[in-house]
Structure 1
């Protein structure tokens, strides 16, 4: 691919009023793009972004077979340092690449923030500084 997809999305979506949460390139040419905006994403937002990106990808000659645009959902993936600050105070589920010394690899706790390349999480009263490089993924834990 001659054009960097990440760069195209990073330059396009904010200008439209959306945040790129994540994107996936799946089997059989499937491209999934997860967007967000203040107040949440509606079906009309997804349609608007999908139509715009369809035209843009044709111009930029970005290959894909099927495009899906959606909100990140209630269990939103958190990846960017700014997101760890934005969602501080909320409950998260953390999956580590390697287990902690006590053999825990999956944690649920209160997100405290992001300091010195570490995600800070309070797990049952124990504040853990988890290096971002050791984290597989962090998702918001939906509260009902």
Structure 2
């Protein structure tokens, strides 16, 4: 078994999805993992965590196991970095496309279509086994059909909702220290 297979087997054995492996300059080995949808993970202190986001505990657990596996494989590296894919997660396999269908995606085609390679819209599967991206062009809804083989790069479009954030402001009069203040309370209005 080679080092790439050892990394894939170790990550899968721990119940995570291997998103990417990169060997960078100066001996850096970068491994990107994601949680499997619908799975419950054991968090810090033995508490169950069914969240979708990769935690520091997840990265620590995978790092420890990879250190053992890579030592057995004899892979030389100066530094091992295990991280989450982030909000703009890359879509590397067709299984990723199926998992994130219905979400906003930015993609770059290998060949230009209508003079552009970069497109952004909502991803969905087609009846023919391909993929489509629905987007607004001016006021009209447009659909771009494509195959997996036609895509150079695809990523989720980060969606951050600051309006839904609750204020954690405490005053000195209600027992708070004042240090917990995240933002002034507003009605968003």
Q: Residue 130 in 1 paired to residue 146 in 2?
A: yes
The one of the two structures with greater contact order (alpha-carbon pairs below 8 A, sep at least 6) is 1
Contact 1:117 1:132 in 2 (8 A): no
Q: Which has the higher helix share?
A: 1
The Cα RMSD (Å) is: 1.7
**Other-structure match for 1:103:** 115
Return the index of the structure with the highest Cα Rg: 2
Tell me the CA shift for residue 4 of structure 1.
2.8
Give the aligned partner of residue 76 of structure 1.
89
* Partner residue, 1:31: 29
Describe the SS at the equivalent of 2:122: strand
For residues 1-144 of structure 1, the aligned pairs below 5 Å read: 3-37=1-35, 38=37, 39-100=52-113, 102-113=114-125, 118-124=130-136, 125-144=141-160
Q: Which runs of 5+ in 1 are unaligned?
A: none
Gaps of 5+ in 2: 38-51, 161-189
Q: 1:11/1:63 Cα in 2 relative to 1: closer, same or farther (>3 Å)? A: same
Do 2:7 and 2:69's aligned partners in 1 also have CA atoms closer than 8 Å? no
